[in-house]
Amino acid sequence: MARRKLNRKLKHPRILITLVVCLALLSGALFLYASRTTDIDRFRMTLLESLDETVIEEQIQTDFKESYTVQDYGIYGETLSFYSDRYSKESYTSLVGQMVVLRNVETQEELSFAFGENVDSGIRLNHLEPGLYEIYIYDNYDKKRLCFKKPVESETFSTIRNQKHVKNIRLVADSTYLEEYGRKMDKNYAFLEVMENIPQVKVADIVLDPGGQIYNEATMTTEAGIVNDWINEPQLTLEFANLLKTKLEEKGLRVLLTREDDQGASYYGTSSRVGIGYQAQAKAFISFEAYEDDTLTRPYLLTSRFTTGLLANEIAYELAGSDLELASVSSNGSFAAGITNDTGMIDDQEDDFVYDAYPALRETGGKQTFAGDLSFAQANESYKNSFGMESVVFFLANGDNEESVQYFQDHQEEMADSIVNAICSYYGIQGEESETSSQ
């Protein structure tokens, strides 16, 4: 009887073999899945560790016959610029008219960026795919390797959230960068490290700044803004900022407000309106205000005198595309209708250098808009070397004109939608229902 049972078990050996093979394949698949590189693993990895060593040994050149030396850099919004001299009031133009080329050392792909004179003209970091990039510049039609006079290793910069991911970017220019792999460079050649990862909760994307309730350090009083029978500026701007915040968060962005009640808030210091943005490493700062004027009755945008106004242009185009009216304001030829430059101001205690007059523009861009430079703005001096936020002031309505205020109130939903569309278009954001972030 026992022999018959044994014979029955051995009649179908193929089934047993198939089961063993399936179990082996399943075990292998589980092992590969468990050992895959996850987003959390990428937090702990350097970009060089993620590269094949043959790429480092064979695809990266360590000396060049021709090089081009720069001394400074800056990030404004998501735009990286280089400067031949240390950035200062005496020397603040970028590599005007020159072409900067990034070469991906793995794929050999090259990307070109034309540099203008303003801080929003340079390398658009959100356009870069993950990888290690060498940086070159065309100088009088000669392609030269970009290097720094002194070693540079930037803090990690995170792009705006896009489909629940960000790109973490570092600028490194150090002759010892490849020493661990037995390679020594003869100069501080510049590299860009680009890694894709999940965002950190503490890092924000956009700061919205409701006007009114501005604390004035000189008088130690809070200035409410325009308040009359048909407008309450602090309330109107806060309501609009909250509306826009909700719509942007639906796109997966992390958005902060500079104030959430009637408490006064300054533009200077660590707990100020701009301090909130710097500490959260935000990329954009959009301020909302009412204005007073004898003739204008429609919204308009104000941009820094040190920018080309690219973000403001995108917003203006979207507003016009939705048949929304903008005020006719004087501007230079590169601006869309409804945009003007900050008129500027001079610090009487220093020199005749012309700064942005509006602190929402001047104090948000780090050293590139001369944050903390003015004698009364020294509380922001520590932000000079922080990543700058790309800033715009959006004037919602003429507070002296009841019809102007009514026009805004009748169209604020469409205006909010247009601003969201402009931000998504400008930063290349694809919509999503909610944000997922790591701690």
Q: What is the pLDDT of residues 377-386, one digit of tens each?
A: 999 999 999 9
CATH 3.40.630.40 domain range(s) in the chain: 206-427
CA angle at 253 for the pair 249 and 257, rounded to the nearest 5°? 70
- Parallel, antiparallel or unpaired: strands 206-210 and 284-291: parallel
Q: 114-153: per-residue pLDDT in tens?
A: 999 899 999 999 999 999 999 999 998 899 999 999 999 9
With bands split at pLDDT 50, 70 and 90, how would you rate the model's confidence at 340? very high
Nearest-angstrom CA–CA distance, 251 and 362: 28
pTM for this one?
Answer: 0.88
Q: Cα dist. 183→56, 153, 190, 221, 349 in Å?
A: 9, 18, 15, 60, 51
Q: Is the pLDDT of residue 372 over 90?
A: yes
- Within 13 Å, how many C-alpha atoms sit on residue 316's CB side? 26
Q: Cα dist. 258→225, 273, 282 in Å?
A: 16, 5, 12
Nearest-angstrom CA–CA distance, 403 and 298: 9
Q: Cα dist. 315→5, 196, 210, 230, 368 in Å?
A: 81, 28, 17, 26, 22
Query: Considering only the top CATH level, what class is 206-427?
Result: alpha beta
Question: CB-based burial of residue 167 (10 Å sphere; 0-12 exposed, 13-18 middle, 19+ buried)?
Answer: buried
Q: Cα dist. 82→85, 150, 176, 339 in Å?
A: 9, 14, 21, 27
Quote the mean pLDDT of the chain: 90
| pLDDT the model gives residue 30 | 62
